[in-house]
Amino acid sequence: MTEMTYRQALHDTLRAEMLRDDAVVLLGEEIGIFEGSYKITAGMLTEFGDQRVIDTPIAEEGFTGAAVGMAMLGLRPVVEIMTLNFTLLAIDQIVNHGAKIFGMFGGQTSVPMVIRTPGGGGQQLAATHSQNLEVWYAHVPGLKVVAPSNPADAKALLTASIRDDDPVLFLENLSLYNTKGEVPDGEQVGEIGRAAIAREGSDITVISYSRATLIALEVARQFESEGVSVEVVDLRSLRPLDRETVCASVRKTTRAVVLEDDWLTYGVGAEIAATIQEGAFDRLDAPVRRVAAAEVPLPYAKPLENAALPTAQDLTKVVGEVLDATRFTR
Amino acid sequence: MSDQDVAPVPERDLGEISSPHHHETVAPGVPVRDVTDGGPEMVQFLDADGKRVSRGNCEPYEPILEGLDPETMRSLYRDLVLVRRVDAEGHALQRQGELGLWPSLLGQEAAQVGAGRAMSTQDYAFPGYREHGVAWCKGVPPLNLLGMFRGVNHGGWDSNANNFHLYTIVIGNQMLHATGYAMGVQRDGAVGTGDPSRDTAVMAFTGDGGTAQGDYNEALVFASVAHAPVVFFVQNNQWAISEPNERQFRVPPYQRAKGFGFPGVRVDGNDVLAVYAVTKHALDEARSGQGPTLIEAFTYRMGAHTTSDDPTKYRVSAEVDLWREKDPIKRMRSHLEREGIADPAFFDGIDAEADALAAEIRTGCQNMPDPELPTMFDKVYAEQHPVIDRERAELIAYHAGFEEGN
């Protein structure tokens, strides 16, 4: 085990996969000389050269579409899109082509590409640069969407994503890059589609993913002092979705709250609530609750941005309401 | 795959659409590039020493320049100085934590003042996010710019008050908005009437980085096909964050215009007189129904991409030093002095005015209060919306709970 940041785990994993497989190439804006907006590709251009680390023109649809073509012919491109928001400029290539080529071409060619991109707000980057649009991609057959919350999962899932023969949207988060955690040494290949019990508990389940998992864990620790045992399920993968782990946890605790960074309406929490309704209805003691961002374009003003994003305070309030509604004695 | 497997890119004769500047710099692997040479076609009326010259394809623009009176020349200089001062204050305020972000225009004052001053009142500008100089010329108060970057309002200014649209942050999107607006101007019959107070043109601003985006290229196609009254103004400041021109295009933007079906002009972007004349000509053509023009203002981003960037990571200081010699303000001042158009008292007066403006906007910015939390719900929909109404009420009740000590 080695303690490292989420950023370092991504960097080291990318480098390891580049060393392991010559077919892995990197494309994106600013990833070479500038070493990436968030320095994930630091040192890569120097080590691997400009044929494998490609600084592209400022055109997201262009380099994403080019990566689809590269993937169809046997390379394993890892595309860095500066933020999830800019995937909107490339969405036709992702949804209409990357996700569908294997099926529409009768399985003649797969598209083994990875799109690495950070989402999330909280950095005062305003409405067009702070969105959580993961559900747009998690909705699409043919795509896989992973969203690790810690450095160890970042390593295991990035390795798995690069080796996967299908296109994977690998969701990072601006506020996770500097977070630290223990990372197992050596090769680690995660399983895409497997959630984790990030913290065991028996009274209530909080289901989350990516940055929000850290908030869920923080709230779980606070409730422990009140004698409440909160279980935290970290989805890790939004598509495929590990419905079994979610339902097994809720069947055990009988109470469920979803914490999501995206907007409530048609958000990740809606899918989780439906999943629980289908798989644990008979064990539920209270309706599934959701904590999400305010349904506004994320404000740039710091106090407004703070008020719009879901916080530990918001989660604490809703968890408390669910406990009280079920006459849980604290 | 290894380097050995990849055939070198052969040098090709690009024929008439090549320029010396880019021909020298297109080959991958060439370490040193001369980013200061705009080539023989670049229109220039003031050289780096402020001497009046007629360089490049300048013939159509000479009459416009000859019509400039001394008062206008002095006021152009005044705008350059004041715009630079506003920009410097913005940068300093961000560094002191008063603004979230500031994209500096340092070095691009002449490109923006020349373009902004060439516009008529009714002409509409669609900026990117660095066009503080155009905003100034269109009459947008600098405090409104600072307020937007401070985050105290949604938008910062009424775009119709000065015909200056709100900043667009995602690269190149506004080129299509401008084209659509220009097509609307056509449909309003405000083109080619011969009435100088009615005929209207639209200006779309972006940088060299924006020229690769799909939106940019689609806008040029649409403007051409529609024969729309729009002027595309590309400030080629040599760098798209860390990516130099040769990572973005092999044919410079002004030469690509021909392929879309309208003229392209490269102008010395650090020469305010040349930019003014070229832009005025293009706007006159657009207003009179002659269709679009693309202007490439050849300039340099002296500062960082934004306050979040550090250019020392990717470019050499020698390059910045070369461009410092081409400074747009120094050049115009030398010209005014050389021609006897302005005396030392004038320059001192402008400097004093800049000091006063800086103090005023600095205090004004620091005194801006934070917005009230429920205002985040006010501008999501033009009409009432049940989800918004519910969330607004919940937020107000939640915070009222703290005030009551609950």
CATH number for A38: 3.40.50.970
For residue B236, give the nearest of B294, B287, B284, B277 by alpha carbon: B294
Flag whether A188 is in a domain.
Answer: no
Inter-residue contact B105 to B87 (CB < 8 Å): yes
A200 plus A158 within the same structural domain: no
Amino acid sitting at position A116: R
Q: Is B21 a catalytic residue?
A: no
Residue of B145, B175, B243, B391 for testing the chain A interface, max A β-carbons within 10 Å = B243
The full 3-state SS of chain B, as one line of letters, equals: CCHHHCCCCCCCCCHHHCCHHHHHHCCCCCCCCCCCCCCCCCEEEECCCCCEEEECCCHHHHHHHHCCCHHHHHHHHHHHHHHHHHHHHHHHHHHCCCCCCCCCCCCCHHHHHHHHHHCCCCCEEECCCCCHHHHHHCCCCHHHHHHHHHCCCCCCCCHHHHCECCCCCCCCCHHHHHHHHHHHHHHCCCCCCCCCCCCCCEEEEEECHHHHCHHHHHHHHHHHHHCCCEEEEEEECCEECCEEHHHCCCCCHHHHHHHHCCCEEEEECCCHHHHHHHHHHHHHHHHCCCCCEEEEEECCCCCCCCCCCCHHHCCCHHHHHHHHCCCHHHHHHHHHHHCCCCCHHHHHHHHHHHHHHHHHHHHHHHCCCCCCHHHHHCCCCCCCCHHHHHHHHHHHHHHHHHHCCC
Q: Among B201, B402, B203, B368, which Cα is nearest to B294's?
A: B203
Residue B33: its pLDDT value, please?
58
pLDDT at B1: 40
- A89 and A140 in a single domain? The answer is yes
A30 touches chain B (CB under 8 A): yes
Q: Is the pLDDT of residue B28 over 60?
A: no
Mean pLDDT computed over B366-380: 93
pLDDT of residue A276: 98
Residue A205: beta bridge partners?
Answer: A231, A256
Q: A34, B241: Cβ pair inside 8 Å?
A: yes
Q: In CATH, what number is assigned to the domain containing residue A285?
A: 3.40.50.920
- At residue A329, the pLDDT reads 86
Q: Is residue A135 part of a domain?
A: yes
| Domain match, A135 and A37 both | yes
* Together in a domain, A291 and A318: yes
Which of A121, A149, A183 is where one domain is finished? Answer: A183
For A245, other C-beta atoms within 10 Å of its C-beta total: 18
Q: What is the mean pLDDT of residues B242-265?
A: 96
| B107-131 pLDDT tens trace | 999 999 999 999 999 999 999 999 9
What pLDDT is stored for residue B26 in this prediction? 34
User: Looking at the structure, do residues A165 and A258 belong to the same domain, yes or no?
Assistant: no
Q: What percent of chain B has a predicted confidence (pLDDT) above 70?
A: 91
- Determine the Cα angle at B200 with ends B194 and B203, to 5°: 140
Instruction: Give the residue from chain B lying closest to A42, CA to CA.
Output: B313
| Residue A320, domain extent | 196-325
Is there a contact between A304 and B28 if contact means CB atoms under 8 Å apart?
A: no
**What is the rounded distance in angstroms from the CA atom of residue B276 to the CA atom of residue B63?**
12
pLDDT digits (tens, 9 = 90+) for B388-405: 999 999 999 998 988 765
Could you say which of B3, B380, B395 has the minimum Cβ distance to residue A297? B380
Chain A residues lying within 8 Å of B101, measured CB to CB = 124
Domain annotation covers residue A263: yes
Hey, what are B266's tokens?
A: 């490269």
Beta strands in A18-167 (DSSP E): 24-28, 53-55, 76-80, 114-119, 144-146
Inspect the interface and report whether the beta carbons of B241 and A50 lie closer than 8 Å: no
C-alpha to C-alpha distances, B45 to A122, A211, A289, B108, B118, nearest whole angstrom: 48, 56, 68, 17, 16
Rounded Cα distance between A146 and A138, Å, is 9
Residues in chain A: 330
Q: Indicate whether B21 pLDDT > 70.
A: no
CA A90 to chain centroid, in Å, comes to 18
- Is A33 touching B (CB cutoff 8 A)? yes
Q: Do B182 and B202 form a contact (C-beta atoms < 8 A)?
A: yes
A91 touches chain B (CB under 8 A): no
- Maximum Cα–Cα distance for chain B, whole Å? 77
Residue in B111, B113, B283 with CA at minimum distance from that of residue B202: B283
Test B373 with A22 for CB contact under 8 angstroms.
no
Any domain includes A78:
yes
Collapsing DSSP to helix, strand or coil, A134 comes out as helix
**Whether B265 contacts B295, CB under 8 Å:** yes
List Cβ neighbours of B218 (8 Å cut-off, separation of 6 or more): B176
Q: Assess whether pLDDT exceeds 90 at residue B245.
A: yes
At residue A267, the pLDDT reads 97
With beta carbons less than 8 A apart as the criterion, state whether B371 and A289 touch: no
Q: What is the least distance, in Å, from the CA of A244 to any CA of chain B? A: 32
CA atoms within 13 A on the CB side of A232: 24
Q: Are residues A162 and A203 in the same domain?
A: no
Among all chains, which residue has been given the structure tokens 């590269």? A70
Distances (CA, A) of A83 to A121, A173, B265: 11, 9, 34
What local confidence, expressed as pLDDT, does residue A330 receive?
80
Biggest distance spanned by C-alpha atoms of chain A: 63
**Tell me, what's the pLDDT at B403?**
76
Cis preceding-peptide flag for B369 (omega within 30 of 0):
no
Query: Per-residue confidence at B153, pLDDT binned at 50, 70, 90?
Result: confident
Of the candidates A169, A160, A159, A154, which has an alpha carbon nearest to the alpha carbon of residue A119?
A169
B250 labelled catalytic: no
CA B273 to chain centre: 16
DSSP A52: T
**A89 within some domain:** yes
Dist CA B27 CA B370 (whole Å): 51
| Active-site annotation holder among A30, A61, A129, A139 | A129
Q: Which residue has the tokens 């604490």?
A: A316
Task: Calculate what percentage of chain A has a pLDDT beyond 90.
Answer: 98
CB proximity A300 to B under 8 Å: yes
- State phi, psi for A171 to the nearest 5 degrees: -90, 120
CA distance B404 to chain A (A): 17
For residue A22, the distance in angstroms to the closest alpha carbon of chain B comes to 6
> Is A190 among the domain residues?
no
Virtual torsion, Cα A156, A157, A160, A162, nearest 10 deg: -120
Residue range B177-225, pLDDT digits in tens: 999 999 999 999 999 999 999 999 999 999 999 999 999 999 999 999 9
Catalytic residue, from A29, A60, A172, A231: name it: A60
The pair of structure tokens assigned to B406 is: 């609950």
A297 reaches B (C-beta below 8 A)? yes
Residue after which a domain boundary falls, among A183, A215, A241: A183
Q: Measure Cα distances from A216 to A259, A315, B165 in Å.
A: 7, 8, 42
> What's the pLDDT at B401?
86
- Residue B20: the pLDDT is 37
Q: Does one domain contain both A178 and A236?
A: no
Last residue of a domain, one of A130, A160, A183: A183
- The confidence score (pLDDT) of residue A209 equals 98
Structure tokens at B192: 């080619």
Q: Is the pLDDT of residue B138 over 60?
A: yes
Q: What is the pLDDT of residue A5?
A: 98
Q: pTM score, two decimals?
A: 0.91
Band (pLDDT 50/70/90 cuts) for residue B13 is low
Nearest-5° Cα angle at B105, B102 to B106 = 115
One domain, residues A175 and A228:
no
Whether A304 contacts chain B with CB within 8 A: yes
Which residues of chain A have a pLDDT value below 70? none
Backbone phi and psi for residue B258, each to the nearest 5 degrees, phi listed first: -55, -40
Verify whether the Cβ–Cβ distance B371 to A25 is below 8 Å: no
What DSSP character marks residue A98? Answer: I
Cα-flanking dihedrals φ and ψ of residue A266, to 5°? 60, 25
A40 and A178 part of one domain: yes
Q: Which residues of B279-297 are buried (b: 16+ CB within 10 A; e: fewer)?
A: bbbbbbbbbbebbbbbbbb
**Token representation of residue B224:** 């051409």
What are the DSSP E strand ranges found in chain A? Answer: 2-5, 24-28, 53-55, 76-80, 114-119, 144-146, 168-173, 180-183, 196-199, 204-208, 230-234, 237-239, 256-263, 289-293
Based on the fold, state whether residues A143 and A25 are members of the same structural domain: yes
Q: Picking from A75-84, B239-248, B272-281, which range would have the lowest pLDDT averaged per residue?
A: B239-248
Q: Would the CA dihedral through B145, B150, B153, B155 be positive or negative?
A: positive
Distance from CA of A77 to the nearest CA of B (A): 13
Residues B6 and A51: beta-carbon distance below 8 Å: yes
Within an 8 Å CB–CB cutoff, is residue A49 touching chain B? yes
Res B4 pLDDT > 50: no
Selected residues 203-262 of chain A with any CB under 8 Å from a CB in chain B:
none
Q: Using CA coordinates, name the residue in chain B closest to A122.
A: B100
Residue A268 domain-assigned? yes
A73 with A123, same domain: the answer is: yes
A191 inside domain: no
**Residue corresponding to tokens 């706007």:** B283
Question: Taking CB atoms and an 8 Å limit, are B2 and A51 in contact across chains?
Answer: yes
Residues of chain A with pLDDT > 70: what percent?
A: 100
Report chain A's mean pLDDT, rounded to a whole number: 97
Average pLDDT over residues B346-358: 98
ipTM rounded to 2 decimals? 0.89
| Average pLDDT score over chain B | 91
Say whether pLDDT at B27 is over 60.
no
Task: Check whether residue A179 and residue A202 sit in a common domain.
Answer: no
- Which residues neighbour B80 within 8 Å (Cβ) at sequence distance 6 or greater? B109, B110, B113, B272, B328, B329, B332
| Predicted pLDDT of residue B34 | 72
Is the model's pLDDT at B7 over the cut of 60?
Answer: no
User: Cα(B269)–Cα(B87) distance, rounded to whole angstroms?
Assistant: 18
User: Exposed, middle or buried by CB within 10 Å (0-12, 13-18, 19+), for B242?
Assistant: buried
Cβ-nearest to B373 among A22, A126, A307: A307
Number of domains into which chain A is organized: 2
- Is pLDDT above 80 for B24? no
- What is the signed CA dihedral for A115, A120, A122, A128, rounded to 10 degrees? 90
Q: In one letter, which amino acid is A267?
A: G
